[in-house]
Structure 1
Amino acid sequence: MEDKIVNQKGHNIIMQDRQTLSITGVLDVLAFDEENVDVETEMGMLTIKGTELHVNKLNLEKKELEIEGEIESLIYHDGEAFTKKGNSFLGKLFK
Protein backbone atom coordinates (compact mmCIF):
# COMPACT_ATOMS: atom_id res chain seq x y z
CA MET A 1 0.00 0.00 0.00
CA GLU A 2 1.36 3.41 -0.94
CA ASP A 3 1.56 6.22 1.56
CA LYS A 4 0.05 9.39 0.20
CA ILE A 5 1.25 12.75 1.38
CA VAL A 6 -1.55 15.26 1.26
CA ASN A 7 -0.48 18.88 1.25
CA GLN A 8 -3.36 20.65 2.94
CA LYS A 9 -3.51 24.38 3.24
CA GLY A 10 -4.44 25.63 6.63
CA HIS A 11 -3.85 28.62 8.83
CA ASN A 12 -4.67 28.88 12.53
CA ILE A 13 -3.88 31.40 15.23
CA ILE A 14 -4.04 30.71 18.95
CA MET A 15 -3.46 33.61 21.34
CA GLN A 16 -3.16 33.24 25.10
CA ASP A 17 -3.70 36.28 27.32
CA ARG A 18 -2.35 38.62 24.60
CA GLN A 19 1.12 37.35 25.58
CA THR A 20 1.71 34.23 23.46
CA LEU A 21 0.78 33.69 19.83
CA SER A 22 1.00 30.35 18.00
CA ILE A 23 0.50 30.47 14.23
CA THR A 24 0.30 27.62 11.70
CA GLY A 25 0.30 27.91 7.93
CA VAL A 26 3.39 30.15 7.99
CA LEU A 27 5.29 30.33 4.70
CA ASP A 28 7.92 32.92 5.66
CA VAL A 29 8.82 35.63 8.16
CA LEU A 30 9.58 38.72 6.10
CA ALA A 31 10.69 41.07 8.88
CA PHE A 32 10.58 41.39 12.62
CA ASP A 33 11.63 43.63 15.47
CA GLU A 34 10.32 44.23 19.00
CA GLU A 35 7.24 46.11 17.73
CA ASN A 36 6.26 44.40 14.42
CA VAL A 37 6.40 40.96 12.85
CA ASP A 38 5.54 40.62 9.14
CA VAL A 39 4.53 37.07 8.21
CA GLU A 40 3.55 35.46 4.92
CA THR A 41 0.85 32.86 5.63
CA GLU A 42 -1.19 30.54 3.45
CA MET A 43 -4.09 32.98 3.89
CA GLY A 44 -2.20 36.19 3.07
CA MET A 45 0.22 38.67 4.59
CA LEU A 46 -0.10 39.22 8.33
CA THR A 47 1.38 41.94 10.54
CA ILE A 48 1.55 41.40 14.29
CA LYS A 49 2.01 44.61 16.28
CA GLY A 50 2.95 44.92 19.92
CA THR A 51 5.77 45.64 22.33
CA GLU A 52 8.71 43.48 23.39
CA LEU A 53 7.85 40.91 20.71
CA HIS A 54 10.18 37.90 20.46
CA VAL A 55 10.11 35.04 17.97
CA ASN A 56 10.42 31.94 20.17
CA LYS A 57 9.99 29.29 17.50
CA LEU A 58 10.11 29.30 13.71
CA ASN A 59 9.79 26.01 11.83
CA LEU A 60 9.11 26.57 8.15
CA GLU A 61 9.06 22.83 7.40
CA LYS A 62 6.09 22.45 9.77
CA LYS A 63 4.84 25.98 8.91
CA GLU A 64 4.79 27.01 12.59
CA LEU A 65 5.63 30.25 14.37
CA GLU A 66 5.46 31.20 18.05
CA ILE A 67 5.71 34.79 19.26
CA GLU A 68 5.84 36.14 22.80
CA GLY A 69 5.33 39.70 24.05
CA GLU A 70 2.55 42.24 24.54
CA ILE A 71 0.36 41.65 21.46
CA GLU A 72 -1.64 44.71 20.42
CA SER A 73 -3.02 43.85 16.98
CA LEU A 74 -3.16 41.37 14.10
CA ILE A 75 -3.63 42.88 10.64
CA TYR A 76 -4.11 41.02 7.35
CA HIS A 77 -3.03 42.72 4.11
CA ASP A 78 -4.16 42.09 0.54
CA GLY A 79 -1.69 42.03 -2.33
CA GLU A 80 2.02 41.42 -2.38
CA ALA A 81 3.28 44.63 -0.80
CA PHE A 82 5.61 42.85 1.60
CA THR A 83 7.25 40.53 -0.91
CA LYS A 84 8.53 43.52 -2.88
CA LYS A 85 10.00 45.26 0.19
CA GLY A 86 13.14 43.18 0.20
CA ASN A 87 14.51 39.83 1.15
CA SER A 88 12.87 37.55 3.64
CA PHE A 89 14.09 37.25 7.21
CA LEU A 90 15.91 33.99 6.44
CA GLY A 91 17.50 35.49 3.35
CA LYS A 92 18.88 38.37 5.41
CA LEU A 93 20.00 36.04 8.19
CA PHE A 94 22.12 33.87 5.90
CA LYS A 95 23.70 36.69 3.83
Structure 2
Amino acid sequence: MAAAEEHDVHLTGRRELQITGVKRVESFDVQAFELSTTAGNMRIAGQSLHMKQFDRQAGIVCIEGEIGAIVYDDGKPRGLMGRLLR
Protein backbone atom coordinates (compact mmCIF):
# COMPACT_ATOMS: atom_id res chain seq x y z
CA MET A 1 0.00 0.00 0.00
CA ALA A 2 1.41 3.39 -0.97
CA ALA A 3 1.77 6.12 1.63
CA ALA A 4 -1.15 8.07 0.13
CA GLU A 5 -3.41 5.01 0.55
CA GLU A 6 -2.59 4.38 4.22
CA HIS A 7 -5.37 4.88 6.70
CA ASP A 8 -4.72 5.67 10.36
CA VAL A 9 -6.93 6.91 13.17
CA HIS A 10 -5.43 8.67 16.19
CA LEU A 11 -7.76 9.56 19.04
CA THR A 12 -6.45 11.72 21.87
CA GLY A 13 -8.53 11.81 25.04
CA ARG A 14 -11.82 11.43 23.14
CA ARG A 15 -11.46 15.14 22.28
CA GLU A 16 -9.22 15.21 19.20
CA LEU A 17 -9.26 12.83 16.25
CA GLN A 18 -6.76 12.75 13.38
CA ILE A 19 -7.58 10.58 10.36
CA THR A 20 -5.34 9.86 7.38
CA GLY A 21 -6.31 8.19 4.12
CA VAL A 22 -9.40 10.40 3.70
CA LYS A 23 -10.68 10.55 0.12
CA ARG A 24 -13.72 12.77 0.70
CA VAL A 25 -15.69 14.47 3.45
CA GLU A 26 -19.22 13.40 2.53
CA SER A 27 -21.06 15.44 5.17
CA PHE A 28 -20.59 16.96 8.60
CA ASP A 29 -22.30 18.88 11.35
CA VAL A 30 -21.86 19.33 15.11
CA GLN A 31 -23.09 15.77 15.80
CA ALA A 32 -21.58 13.65 13.01
CA PHE A 33 -19.00 13.45 10.25
CA GLU A 34 -19.26 11.05 7.30
CA LEU A 35 -16.01 10.35 5.46
CA SER A 36 -14.92 8.20 2.56
CA THR A 37 -11.51 6.69 3.38
CA THR A 38 -9.16 4.22 1.77
CA ALA A 39 -10.45 1.67 4.33
CA GLY A 40 -14.15 2.29 3.59
CA ASN A 41 -16.86 4.70 4.66
CA MET A 42 -16.49 6.04 8.17
CA ARG A 43 -18.89 7.81 10.54
CA ILE A 44 -17.77 9.81 13.57
CA ALA A 45 -20.53 10.69 16.03
CA GLY A 46 -20.41 12.94 19.06
CA GLN A 47 -21.23 16.41 20.32
CA SER A 48 -19.84 19.86 19.53
CA LEU A 49 -17.78 18.42 16.66
CA HIS A 50 -15.89 20.73 14.34
CA MET A 51 -13.21 20.32 11.71
CA LYS A 52 -9.88 21.61 12.94
CA GLN A 53 -7.96 20.73 9.76
CA PHE A 54 -8.70 19.34 6.30
CA ASP A 55 -5.80 18.77 3.94
CA ARG A 56 -7.47 17.37 0.84
CA GLN A 57 -4.25 16.71 -1.04
CA ALA A 58 -2.63 14.79 1.86
CA GLY A 59 -5.93 13.11 2.84
CA ILE A 60 -5.84 14.30 6.46
CA VAL A 61 -8.80 15.39 8.58
CA CYS A 62 -8.61 16.55 12.21
CA ILE A 63 -11.81 16.74 14.24
CA GLU A 64 -12.29 18.21 17.71
CA GLY A 65 -15.20 17.85 20.11
CA GLU A 66 -16.71 15.08 22.24
CA ILE A 67 -16.08 11.93 20.21
CA GLY A 68 -18.73 9.31 21.04
CA ALA A 69 -18.34 6.70 18.29
CA ILE A 70 -16.23 5.77 15.29
CA VAL A 71 -17.95 3.34 12.93
CA TYR A 72 -16.99 1.87 9.57
CA ASP A 73 -19.77 1.14 7.11
CA ASP A 74 -19.33 -2.14 5.25
CA GLY A 75 -21.42 -0.87 2.36
CA LYS A 76 -24.28 -3.34 2.90
CA PRO A 77 -27.86 -2.08 2.69
CA ARG A 78 -29.19 -0.92 6.06
CA GLY A 79 -32.40 -2.13 7.63
CA LEU A 80 -35.10 0.19 8.89
CA MET A 81 -33.40 0.76 12.27
CA GLY A 82 -30.07 1.50 10.60
CA ARG A 83 -31.64 4.16 8.41
CA LEU A 84 -33.53 5.68 11.33
CA LEU A 85 -30.42 5.87 13.54
CA ARG A 86 -28.32 7.41 10.82
Normalised by the length of structure 1, the TM-score is 0.75
> Normalized per residue, which structure has more helix?
2
Residue 37 of structure 2: aligned partner:
41
The runs of 5 or more residues in structure 2 that have no matched partner are 78-86
The runs of 5 or more residues in structure 1 that have no matched partner are 1-5, 82-95
Q: Alpha carbons of 1:72 and 1:60: their partners in 2 closer, same or farther (altered >3 Å)? A: same
> Normalized per residue, which structure has more strand?
2
Normalised by the length of structure 2, the TM-score is 0.83
| TM-superposed deviation, 1:68 | 0.1
Deviations 1:39-77 (A, max 9, x none): 000000000000000001111100000000000000000
| Fraction of identical pairs, as percent | 32
| TM-superposed deviation, 1:7 | 4.2
Moved over 2 A (4+): none
Q: Could you say what the CA RMSD is over the residues aligned between the two structures, in angstroms? A: 1.7
Match of 1:59 among 55, 62, 75: 55
Supply the distance in 2 between the matched residues of 1:17 and 1:56 (Cα, whole angstroms).
16
The one-letter code sitting in structure 2 at the alignment partner of 1:69 is G
Supply the distance in 1 between the matched residues of 2:48 and 2:60 (Cα, whole angstroms).
20
The one-letter code sitting in structure 1 at the alignment partner of 2:71 is I
Supply the distance in 2 between the matched residues of 1:50 and 1:59 (Cα, whole angstroms).
22
